[in-house]
Structure 1
Amino acid sequence: MWRHRVLGSVALLLLLLTLVQPFTLNQIAEDAPPPLGGIEDPPGPEKVYGGIEDWPGAENDLGVVDLAHFAISEHNSNTNAVLEFRKVVKVKQQVVAGWMYYITIQVNEGGAKKMYEAEVWERPWLDFKELVEFRPAEGASARA
């Protein structure tokens, strides 16, 4: 008799788990925090994982501005240049072994506004960031 009660209880428990599990997983996905650094994935239905994506609105993100300052500082120390940060104009990102950021930056160069493109690779969980490339922006207007 007690075996039937135990088997019935187990069956009822399994039935409840199969009904509740999909709702629980959906709730976990909805409540999940953004990735490290508070940086959220850019919106868009055309998301291609591993592809380079525009990140509208990230121009004022403090983490991105910090990466832009880092890129200018590294460039200045590597080339003895004296570029001064003005603002971030455009941001793209790519998921790699970490994140690759493609940042268009407006700078002061000898009193003139100029545009540069920086590629910065970041792996925040390893406290790692590296300036991969820093070059003048092609076809970009300094008035942006």
Structure 2
Amino acid sequence: MRRLVLAAAAATVLLLLQGSAAGPAGMEGPFGWEPMKDLSNPHVRDITEFAVNKHNEDAQTKLALDNVVKGETVGFLGTIYKLIVEVKDGANPKSYEAVVWDGKLVRFLFLFKAVEGNV
């Protein structure tokens, strides 16, 4: 059952992200990405720390979370978060896009990629 839910969530995330590298054009409204209003919410910080820690674990890096710059959500068997985060790699600041699915029983990092230029 868990694999089925993860597969469905993965398929949904891929469909939502397809063709939206710069943003969710045409995906606003009740069935698309909604801008997050409170990026300082403790739950958002928890989701973001999960994404950075999971990336560090998977990629054997030591990035440190600095700030959440932008966020969007969409509901699907929980919530999918698309976040732009600023991290520090030693003394070097970097920006990343992270996509995290926060389900009722499991949390999963789908994407953690560097963002170039202004976000």
Does TM, scored on the shorter chain, surpass 0.5? yes
- Give the structure 1 partner of residue 12 of structure 2: none
Unpaired runs of at least 5, structure 2: 1-27
Matched ranges for 1:24-63 at <5 A: 48-56=29-37, 58-63=38-43
Q: Post-superposition shift, 1:79?
A: 0.5
Distance 2:113 2:56 in 1: 12
- Percent of aligned pairs with the same amino acid: 29
Off by >3 Å, runs of 4+ in structure 1: none
Distance 2:86 2:95 in 1: 5
**SS at the partner of 2:39?**
helix
Q: Are residues 1:109 and 2:112 paired? A: no
Q: Post-superposition shift, 1:55?
A: 1.2
TM-score normalised over the length of structure 2: 0.72
Q: Match of 1:53, as an amino acid? A: E
Matched ranges for 1:5-24 at <5 A: none
Contact 1:115 1:140 in 2 (8 A): no
Partner deviation per Cα, 1:96-139 (whole Å, 9 max, x = no partner):
1211001111100121111111000011x32x110010001233
Distance 1:140 1:96 in 2: 29
TM-score normalised over the length of structure 1: 0.60
Partner deviation per Cα, 1:44-96 (whole Å, 9 max, x = no partner):
xxx6222011112x210100001110000000000001100111111100111
Bigger Rg, which one: 1
Q: Are residues 1:92 and 2:72 paired? A: yes
- The structure 2 residue matched to 1:137, chosen from 105, 115, 118, is 115
Q: Are residues 1:65 and 2:48 paired? A: no
Partner deviation per Cα, 1:18-52 (whole Å, 9 max, x = no partner):
xxxxxxxxxxxxxxxxxxxxxxxxxxxxx622201
Q: How many residue pairs align between the two structures?
A: 92
Unpaired runs of at least 5, structure 1: 1-46
Distance 2:86 2:32 in 1: 25
Contact 1:116 1:136 in 2 (8 A): yes
